Amino acid sequence: MNELLSFWAQWLRPSAGLPTVQWALLLAVAAVAGYLVQRHSGLPKVLGYSLVGTLAGLAGFGGAVWPLQGIGLFLVELAVAVVLFEAGGRIPLRWFRHNPMVLVQSIAESALTCAAVYWAMLWLKVPAPVAAALAMVALAASPAVLTRVVSDTHAAGPVTERAIVLSTLSSLYALTLGSAQAGLIERPAAGLLGQLYPVLVVLGVSVAVGALLSLLMRLALRVMSPTSENTTILLLALIAASTAITAHLGGSAPLAALLGGMLLKQLHPRPWAWPRQMGTASSVLTMMMFVLVSTVAAQGQWSVAVAGSVAALIAVRLAAKAVGVGLGNVGSGASWRQALWVSCAMTPMSAIALLVASQLVLAAGDAGEPIARIALPAILVMELLGAVIAAFAIYRAGESSKPWLDLNRGSNPGESGNES
Amino acid sequence: MSLEAFSHSEPLTLGVELELQLVNTHNYDLAPYAEDMLRLMHKTPLPGSVVPEMTNSMIEISTGVCHSTSEVLGQLTPIRDALVKSADKLNIAVAGGGTHPFQMWHERRIYDKPRFQELSQLYGYLSKQFTIFGQHVHIGCPDADAALLMLHRMSRYIPHFIALSASSPYVQGHDTAFDSARLNSVFAFPLSGRAPFVLTWDEFGQFFEKMTRTGVVKSMKDFYWDIRPKPEYGTIEIRVFDTPLTIERAAALAGFVQSLAAWFLVEQPFEPSEDDYLVYTYNRFQACRFGLDAVYVDPATGQHMPLREHILQTLDHIARHAGAHGASGALHVLRGETASGQNDARWLRERMREEQLLAEVSRQAALRFRGSL
């Protein structure tokens, strides 16, 4: 593969550089794969994108570096920030006042996942610092995968909405605690204040940037229509700027975007109309993210030796999320059946888990290798398998606007089968 | 199949049904939460009932048997409050209005209940386009023949009901230029429109028997008439109202119907005739299209006059009977709004002019329903 690329690099000298051509072609193939996967199996397009990324990664494609850094890191952070800003805007804080059990449900599933994965890894003789890092990685569900699956299936309903909210909140915890943990590894501290310091820095910077982002959007919305294309461009530009600034200041860019979305929803309870406008720009960005994540994750050192640990992490995580969602379901307004499908819809792991893992690996230095050895295959498997489980959960919950199996045979009379 | 007997009911008693929209709080599109709402609502003891409707973003509430406008409001208020509380718990909102301004019919899903599935099989896409929201008012009648007489007298006031309740100017994201576009969706159904002009229950029974013999209908539920007899309740049911944006207006409209019915029973002010229906569809169209600015053709005299003027005249005629049934306050509000040309369709258009975003109009309509605006 590398010989082929070096021959190609000598033969072809494009103006924008060879990596640009490689990435453009990879995305083109991913777009075709995503379409074909959905057209012929009814599975989400994200599966096609991730498969192409996986194959590229396994074939030794060197366009993405691990641990994430440079332009690759920025692109993943930007795409995650866009998704999380929109997902944060779906969380009105007043909901938790009317239904505190949703918050209990979120904390229960996240805490249980973290604890269960940690203890499972210790039981498998994984060193404690590595187990702690893996627990943090496993905590994050993926609103990015879930929202793409929702978009593909044209889904709406209580299971869909709650799964997005719980996934977003788990991302909030993972990004905060993961960044703090990375800070602690880099600057070990003995006292309580010393241990809190990294958490406060991450949170402080992210809150400040998030608040600034939401205030600027709030000001813009005083004079601009949310349905205007220019408002969408402004939003994307502001998120891009905040992504670049936040990491530089020691905060978490996706966390800042998430908090920005939540704050804007509080300051501006009006309907969010720009997601429709974001359309293709957002789709290209997230598609690139899925390809990049799977390319990077596929570069992990696959071996039979770690397969048991990876399988254990995945199994324990699935069970812990299901039990946590179930425990907090009492009095939360959802049925037991819905709780089951919510926990299934929360199984994908993708870019946020990769960002947390990358941060922890970078901070851990030499100790980062064992973290990556288990985390990367787990992320890759759960990006692929998670998307399928989430799609299945949404169909079984009856919240998709189109039937799965009829995609191959044309749409059912009376049921919509529009291509998005 | 023969027609069931007309049950006894206390004359002039009222029952109100309201079909309501369930919307999400993110972009205020319709949200498929009917089943969850029903599950939560069943935990609260309430007057009347809460039941599912054709598609799973709709819910229907109804009062029990009421004697006055204030009793209607007294029953609707706790139901509304319980609905709002359940909606808050699910992070959705409930709104009135005859149509959802920008929902897409093809995205709707039929509620999983045998009758709705059967209707969906029969009517195809029409059943999803039936995601429209109406208010039905039942009025108790002394006996079966009196019910038919009242039904045909009431038919002259169909334009009045339409104009006063109109709240569906927007369909699929566009201003239809109608105040009540909802009724255009009802017209697509083969058994919609007016009831046959028969004034005795025996004759009506013969008509029903002939219709069932054709296999086209099985029960009275298959008729989508603007007004239809409801023999099991001993009432007639007026079905042309759009669901208003507030329960106060819904109660006021019920008071208007009750006062009209009292006027008919006490004063027997006119005899209906088949010729009344010569202008029925025209008047109905005018009211749907122009609301309170419509032209009304008097079926008896053929005189053309502004509908608004005829509503005000009617309010004068029934004022004494409204007083006797405690509906004076409600009719006073209707009078004021009629005089100023204000109905819910106009309110929605004013909000749209101000906000330039239909989703925001929906959000404000939901706030209005819960009494916060």
- In this predicted structure, what is the pLDDT of residue B179? 97
Chain A residue with Cα closest to B356: A225
Q: What are the helix (H) ranges across chain B? A: 34-41, 69-90, 114-123, 125-129, 144-154, 158-165, 182-187, 201-214, 247-267, 280-290, 307-324, 328-339, 344-355, 358-369
Checking if the pLDDT of A409 tops 60, the result is: no
Nearest-angstrom CA–CA distance, B185 and B98 = 11
Task: Output the CA torsion sign for A156, A162, A167, A173.
Answer: positive
A90, A98, A103: which to substitute to probe chain B, counting the most B Cβ within 10 Å?
A98
pLDDT top residue among A303 and B177: B177
- Say if B281 is an interface residue toward chain A (CB within 8 Å): no
Out of A227, A275, A333, name the one closest to residue B36 (CB): A333
Highest mean pLDDT out of A64-73, A307-316, B207-216: A307-316
How would you classify residue B205: left for phi > 0, otherwise alpha for psi between -120 and 50, otherwise beta?
alpha
- The DSSP bridge partners found for residue B137 are B16, B238
Maximum Cα–Cα distance across chain B? 55
- The DSSP bridge partners found for residue B175 are B170
Percent of all residues in chain B with a pLDDT value above 90, rounded to a whole number: 84
What are the chain A neighbours of B362 within 8 Å (beta carbons)?
A: 271
Q: B169, B345 in Cβ contact below 8 A?
A: yes
Q: How far is CA B317 from the centre of its chain?
A: 23
Using 50, 70 and 90 to split pLDDT, how confident is the model at A12? low
- Say if A7 is an interface residue toward chain B (CB within 8 Å): no
Q: How many CB pairs under 8 A join A and B?
A: 77
Task: Output the CA torsion sign for A41, A45, A47, A48.
Answer: positive
Q: What are the helix (H) ranges across B21-123? A: 34-41, 69-90, 114-123
Checking if the pLDDT of A185 tops 70, the result is: yes
Q: Whats the size of chain A, residue-wise? A: 420
- In this predicted structure, what is the pLDDT of residue A410? 43
Percent of all residues in chain A with a pLDDT value above 90, rounded to a whole number: 55
What are the chain B neighbours of A161 within 8 Å (beta carbons)?
A: 24, 91
Highest mean pLDDT out of A178-182, A221-225, B199-203: B199-203
- In this predicted structure, what is the pLDDT of residue A4? 67
pLDDT top residue among B104 and A329: A329
Checking if the pLDDT of B13 tops 60, the result is: yes
Q: B325, B12 in Cβ contact below 8 A?
A: yes
Q: B109 vs A335: CB contact, 8 Å cut-off?
A: no
Checking if the pLDDT of A413 tops 70, the result is: no
CA angle A275, A280, A282 (to 5 degrees): 55
- In this predicted structure, what is the pLDDT of residue A89? 92
CA angle A222, A224, A228 (to 5 degrees): 150
What are the chain A neighbours of B106 within 8 Å (beta carbons)?
A: 416, 418
Residue position matching structure tokens 């009275």: B220
Checking if the pLDDT of B111 tops 70, the result is: yes
Q: What's the mean pLDDT when you consider all of chain A?
A: 87
Checking if the pLDDT of B368 tops 70, the result is: yes
Amino acid at B7: S
Percent of all residues in chain B with a pLDDT value above 70, rounded to a whole number: 100
- Say if B115 is an interface residue toward chain A (CB within 8 Å): no
User: Residue B174 in 3-state DSSP?
Assistant: strand
Nearest-angstrom CA–CA distance, B86 and B36 = 9
Nearest-angstrom CA–CA distance, A53 and A55 = 6
Checking if the pLDDT of A199 tops 80, the result is: no
Over residues A124-136, the mean pLDDT reads: 92
Q: How far is CA A370 from the centre of its chain?
A: 22
- In this predicted structure, what is the pLDDT of residue A408? 44
pLDDT digits (tens, 9 = 90+) for B67-85: 999 999 999 999 999 999 9
pLDDT digits (tens, 9 = 90+) for B119-168: 778 777 777 778 899 999 999 999 999 999 999 999 999 999 999 999 99
Out of A95, A98, A335, name the one closest to residue B39 (CB): A335
Over residues A32-38, the mean pLDDT reads: 94
ipTM: 0.88
- In this predicted structure, what is the pLDDT of residue A276? 65
- In this predicted structure, what is the pLDDT of residue B317? 95
- Say if B24 is an interface residue toward chain A (CB within 8 Å): yes
Out of A94, A399, A413, name the one closest to residue B32 (CB): A399
- Say if B120 is an interface residue toward chain A (CB within 8 Å): yes
Q: A210, A245 in Cβ contact below 8 A?
A: no
pLDDT digits (tens, 9 = 90+) for A260-287: 999 999 999 999 877 666 777 788 888 9
pLDDT digits (tens, 9 = 90+) for B285-338: 999 999 999 999 999 999 999 999 999 999 999 999 999 999 999 999 999 999
Using 50, 70 and 90 to split pLDDT, how confident is the model at A414? very low
Using 50, 70 and 90 to split pLDDT, how confident is the model at A103? very high
* Range A375-402 burial, b when 16+ CB lie within 10 A, else e: bbbbbbbbbbbbbbbbbbbbbbbebbbb
